[in-house]
Amino acid sequence: MKTIQAVARYFPESCGGIHIHLSEIMPVLQAMGVESKVAASGDEPKEDFYTYKGVEVYRYPVFPTPKPEPNHGASFHGGFEHFARWLKEQKADIYHQHQWTPKCGLPHLRLAKELGMGTAVSVRLPQPICQRQTLMLNGEEACDGKIDPVRCGYCCGVSQNLPASVVKSLSYLPVGVSQAAAGVMRRLEKAPGSIEKTANALLKPIAIPGFAAARLQGLQEMAKYADRIVVMSEWVGEALTINGIPREKLFLLRHGIAESFADAYKQTVLQPKKPGEPLKVGFLGRWDRTKGIHIIVEAVKSLPSDVPIELIIHGVASNDEYRKQVLSRIGDDPRIRVAKQLKREELGAALSGFDVLTVPSQWLETGPVVVLEGHAYRVPVVGSKLGGIAEKVKHGVDGLLVPASDVKAWADAFAQLALNPDLLYKLRQGIQPVRTISMEAVDSLTLYQSILAERSELAAYNVGASLQLQPL
C-alpha cells in the first residue's frame, strides 16, 4: 500500500507535535507494508526533494504567502501546479492530510479525490472548527463547537450591541471583503489604542461572521472530499457531528506513544514518597498562554510556604513576550524553577524525576500525547478538565482533573498531593499500561483498508449498474 502523508511543513524545519508524531508512526507503518511519502509545503519558490530518516519528502512551493483566512485554503495558492503535477505522478492508494490550512487544505484534498485516491483528513486542532481556535466560548468555558456566525461573531469580539440579524446578514459578504477587513485590522495592530479600538469595532463585524461561515463551508467540503475524517478524541467527533458531518465519515484514532516510552511502565518501580519531601511538579510544553503556565505559577505562589512543593518548567520556545511575563511573575520564588528546553531524547529522564505532571491547558486539546508519556513513567497527571485531557485522565484513579482557569482549585490539588503522600502513591498505582504507537499503527492500517474496501465495493456497484443499463 502506498500513501501520501501531507502536512503544512516538515523536518528539518522547527516542527510541532503533529510532525513529530507523524515521523514516529511512519516507520511502524512501513514494517506493516505501508509505504509513506511526505508532501509538505515550503516557503521557497521552487520544489525540493530529500530523504529524512528514511522517508522521501517532497516540498512543494507556496508563493506568495497565502492569506490566513479562510483557514482551509478555499482557493489555490501560488505554486499549486507543482504540487498537482507531483501528486498525479505518485499514483498512491491513500492520501492522508494532517492539517487544514491555506498551504495544506481543501484544494490539495480535492485533487487527491479527483485522482482516485482514498482520502483521509485528520482534525488535530480546534482550528478547523473554531474561529477563536481554542473552542473556548468567550474564552471562558468549553464550547460545543456549533458554528453559528452570530454566536461566533460575538465570541470573537463583534459588539453585542449589533443586532443578531445584522451580524447574520454580514456573514453572507464575499470572503474577499472579509479578508480585506481582516488585513486592515492586522496593519493597525500597532496603531495607537484609540485608532485600533475604533478600527476593530468597525471591521470585526465585516471580517468575523464571514470567516465563521467559511469555516462551516470548509467542514462541509472536507466531508465531501474525504472518505474518512480522523479524530483523536471523542469531543472532536461530537463537534463535527453537531455541524452536520455524518458520523459514518468519522474514524476515532487515538494517539499512541513510541515503545521506547511505553516500555518504561514495566521498568518503573513504585516507591512511596517520604513525608515532608517536596512534591516535584513538572511541566512540559510551549511557552504559550493556551498552555496555561501562568495558571500553575499563580497556584504555587498562592500556597503557604510550609507546603513542600517544587514546580519545574521545561518550556518550549514559542511566545517570547508571554515567557517574559511569566518569568517576571515568578520573580525569585525558590519553589519555581525554569529549567532548560528538553530534547526529545531527554524527556524520559525528566519525567522519571517528577512526582506529578501538570497539563494546565486553557483550550481544548485533541491529545495531548504528553499525558500518555507521563503515565508511561507512572507519573500521575494533574490536568485541565477539558477536551482530550479529560478523556485521558481518570479523576482520582490515575490523576486529578481541575477546572482549567481556577487558580485556587489548582493550588488545592497541589497541596493535597504535597501533604498526602498516600494519595500520590494511590494515583501511581492506578496508572495502567499506555497505548503504544504500534497499536495506533494497526488502527491506521484498518482505517486505510476500510477506505480501499469501500471504494472497491463502490466501483463494483458502479460497474454492475452500468452493465444493467446496457441494451440486450
Q: Which contacts of 168-175 are long-range, i.e. CB under 8 A and separated by 24 or more positions?
A: 168/209, 170/205, 170/206, 170/209, 170/210, 171/209, 171/210, 171/212, 171/213, 172/210, 172/213, 173/206, 173/209, 173/210, 174/210, 175/69, 175/70, 175/74, 175/210, 175/211, 175/214
CA angle centred on 311, ends 306 and 313, rounded to 5° = 165
Average pLDDT over residues 367-383: 96
pLDDT in tens, 31-40: 999 999 999 9
Nearest 5°: phi and psi at 137?
A: -65, 120
Fold of 261-430: Rossmann fold (3.40.50)
Amino acid letter, 88: K
Residue 133 has pLDDT above 70, yes or no: yes
pLDDT of residue 472: 45
pLDDT of residue 389: 98
Residues 6+ apart with CB under 8 A from 342: 284, 314, 350
Q: Which stretch of DSSP H or E encloses residue 467?
A: helix 437-469
Band (466; pLDDT cuts 50, 70, 90): low
pLDDT in tens, 435-464: 999 999 999 999 999 999 998 887 766 655
Domain ranges, ordered by start, for the chain = 261-430
Contact (CB, 8 A) for 246 and 220: no
Average pLDDT over residues 298-316: 97
pLDDT in tens, 101-124: 999 999 999 999 999 999 999 999
What's the N-to-C CA distance of the chain in angstroms?
Answer: 39
Which of these, 174, 173, 167, 172, lies nearest to 152 by C-alpha position? Answer: 167
Strands 55-61 and 48-52: antiparallel
What is the residue whose three cell numbers read 463537534?
239
Cα separation, 350 vs 342, in Å, equals 8
Cα separation, 408 vs 427, in Å, equals 21
Helices (H), 309-397: 320-330, 347-352, 369-376, 387-392
pLDDT of residue 465: 56
Band (471; pLDDT cuts 50, 70, 90): low
Residue 469 has pLDDT above 60, yes or no: no
Q: 72-86, 192-206, 354-368, 424-438 — which is least confidently predicted?
A: 192-206
Residue 467 has pLDDT above 90, yes or no: no
| Average pLDDT value for the chain | 95
Contact (CB, 8 A) for 206 and 173: yes
Can you state the angle between helices 106-114 and 80-90, rounded to 10 degrees? Answer: 30
Cα separation, 461 vs 68, in Å, equals 41
**What is residue 101's DSSP assignment?**
B
